[in-house]
A and B are shown apart, each in its own frame.
Chain A
Amino acid sequence: MTLLDQDTQPSRRQFLTLVGAGVGAAAARLGAEPAFAQGGAPVKIGVLAIRAGIAAPVGAAGLRATEWWAERVNKAGGILGRPVQLVVEEESNPKDTVERYRKLVLQDQVEVVLGGISTGVTLALGPVAEDLGTPWLSWDGTTQKGVEETMPNPRWAFKSVDNEVEAIVAGILTPKYFKGIKTVAGIGNDYSYGHDCWESYQAVLKRYLPDVKFVLELFPKLGVTDFTSHIAAIQQSKADLLMCSFWSGDATIIMKQAAAVGLFKTMKGVFTTAGGVHDSLKKEFTPEGLLLGYNTMYFDDPKGSALLKQFVREYKAKHNEYPPYECDHAYFNAESYKAAVEKAAGAAKRWPEKAQVVKALEGIEIESLSGRRSWREDHVQMCSFYQGMTTHKNSYDFVTISPVEVVSTRQAMKPAGAKLFDWISGWKI
């Protein structure tokens, strides 16, 4: 029923638009109101953001960027003249989030849902999105089980970059920056992301350095705040290099506790994802010369666009923080939706059906905060990853990176339909 109602809505609107066009002069006078010339009802856009727990800062970043985008779009006249209205719901556990997703689509009647960070949740959202027939664009969540794709050909679901890409990028960059590495220890959180990153990193590094030995792997559970014992074990392992995929407050904590015992005086370090909490990595305890990953957006990119610079400036002014990568995922999602609607609307500027928007999204490329980003034909985000060596040579009280390495998902993400480890072992090196 509800689906039917939704389907009839756009056509009624189209009809009115046609009538309006026919009336001619009268319509022109109506259109004298500059903003939202078509006088259209607001476009409702659903947003799912994590508000609590360990990923709350990430959720906040995504939401802030979406709000920044909405404000900008509305100032410039909305999408096809319709103002944007965000309907925000919380992402929590899979069951409740699925309920809120249904509420957004069925009750609030949003045109599109943006958001979703935890893969545990988005795995559950994928099939629901297919079922409800409304486009869903995920910020940071995939529909992967481990490193395997569970929904290779979705119709309505658009997914984030594969989880393991930053570990793969770090694996590619490790031999370039750390010569003569023979032994490697790893630490990650004890859930899918931590394990997948470690597996992928090992697979990639082994391709470049076939003799490398992995001497220790530690998987403390998410939320642990004391790594003293882990660091002692890492020291005992006498590894040449430590790979760490922490991305939340725990990255800051392990950095601090490692500094307290001088871990990185003797050991090299790779932090694939700690750029997520980059402005908490203070110079006092974060050494230079670590490989640090910022995921898909580096706020201080010397080659960054005017859009990025404006965003960073306004974000800092409003929230007193420097934006992390989640902002870029969120901005890209929202902006690509707008671009797809405008593309599907065509010259007639008629509000498109949801299915037409989905068609337009496939393969679309737009300017995001971090640069050009696109949707692959199988609904996976394509973008660039920013990693580099930590440096103290900046005006902040935390580390930044120089030089900045930019690796595209075209190089570091498995192609559609490929099996990850077969793909890696097939690389020509």
Chain B
Amino acid sequence: MAAGLQVVFGVQKIFNLACGSFYALGAYAGVSAVGWYASAGGPPALFVVPLALAGLAVGAVGVVVERGLLRFVYDRDETFQLLLTFAVVLMMEDAIRMIWGTSPRSTAGLYLTYGQLQLLGAPVPVYNLIVIAASLVIALAIGWLLTRTAFGRIVRAAADNREMAEALGVDMRRVYAKVFTLGTALGTLGGALVIPATAAMSEMGTELIVEAFAVVVIGGLGSMRGAFVGALAVGVLRSIAISVYPELEMLLIYLIVIVVLVLRPRGLFGGAAA
């Protein structure tokens, strides 16, 4: 999800608060897809397939939001973007509530389908390993997309200098729509993949958004590597804090943000994008 936020911010210079809602949307879609899959008698071992497909499919919402709303505010002040995407957050939360109801939704016991492994003396659910592997694959795929393909070069060019890219004949509207959809799909896919291990709640998007922004700030706005390292740093340090000094858990993420902002105001990898 942080990756999605980065792609979108890097290229379009849009603060997309709605990324949290896309995450929640992906989660709910994932729960429904897996539910249908199970009732249609699909083998439990393959449930990740409909899960991931559902996550990707609802990413299409991105096109609607971008074409229908966001394109009107590109040239306005950032506050308009914040307000607009926040409005999307509120609407999506209510839409989710209307479609899926208010109770938390979960995928029952599918999380345990793959059993667990002993890693370094601690039991680790295999599903967690699958998610880790999937996120590595996604990270590599985005890396490849951005650095090795024509589309990637255009995206990077657009991020670097919008006017110049436009002058060279790049259709920015299409690039924007594609990039925003890509960012959305990363968010919805993330939501779908994480859901078997937890439960979908209508406000999960808002909960996550603070964290995602912190990760992005730590990593450096617009930097993909930064998002990756930032997410890892926050996750690992929080785990350590919980087992060493639990009181620090909530404060920690902000402490890291403060330290990073003081020492490297552009974030750990911020220089690359600037």
Contact = CB atoms under 8 A, between A and B. Distances in A.
A7 interface: no
B225 to A, nearest CB: 23
A169 interface: no
Contacts of A426: none
Interface stretch (A70-78, A91-99, A247-255, A379-387): A247-255
A226 interface: yes
A282 B109 contact: yes
A229 B108 contact: no
Given A218-B246, A233-B242, A233-B243, A225 B108 contact: no
Given A57-B102, A223-B203, A259 B112 contact: yes
A236 B243 contact: yes
B207 A223 contact: yes
Given A253-B199, A260-B125, A280 B109 contact: no
A257 B198 contact: yes
Given A53-B203, A219-B246, A253-B199, A260 B104 contact: no
A377 interface: no
Nearest to B103: A57
B243 A257 contact: no
B123 A262 contact: yes
B184 interface: no
A277 B106 CA distance: 12
Identify whether the interface residues of B are mostly helix, strand, loop, or mixed: helix
B67 interface: no
Interface in A225-269: 225-226, 228-230, 232-233, 235-236, 248-249, 252-253, 256-257, 259-262
A148 interface: no
Nearest to A58: B102
Interface residues of B, number: 32
A190 interface: yes
A54 B207 CA distance: 11
Given A248-B104, A284-B109, A217 B246 contact: yes
B149 interface: no
Interface residues of A, number: 44
A285 interface: yes
B125 A261 contact: yes
B125 A284 contact: no
A261 B239 contact: no
B239 to A, nearest CB: 4
Contacts of B106: 249, 252-253, 256, 280, 282
B256 interface: no
Given A229-B239, A252-B199, A253-B198, A261 B123 contact: yes
19 contacts: A53-B203, A56-B102, A221-B250, A224-B207, A229-B239, A232-B242, A233-B242, A236-B243, A249-B104, A249-B106, A256-B111, A256-B112, A260-B111, A260-B112, A260-B116, A262-B116, A280-B199, A284-B109, A285-B108
Given A54-B201, A280-B104, 12 more contacts: A52-B97, A54-B203, A59-B102, A253-B199, A257-B197, A259-B111, A260-B128, A261-B116, A261-B122, A261-B123, A285-B108, A285-B111
Q: What 10 pairs between A and B have smallest CB-CB spacing?
A: A284-B109, A249-B104, A260-B125, A56-B102, A229-B239, A233-B243, A229-B242, A225-B198, A57-B103, A261-B123
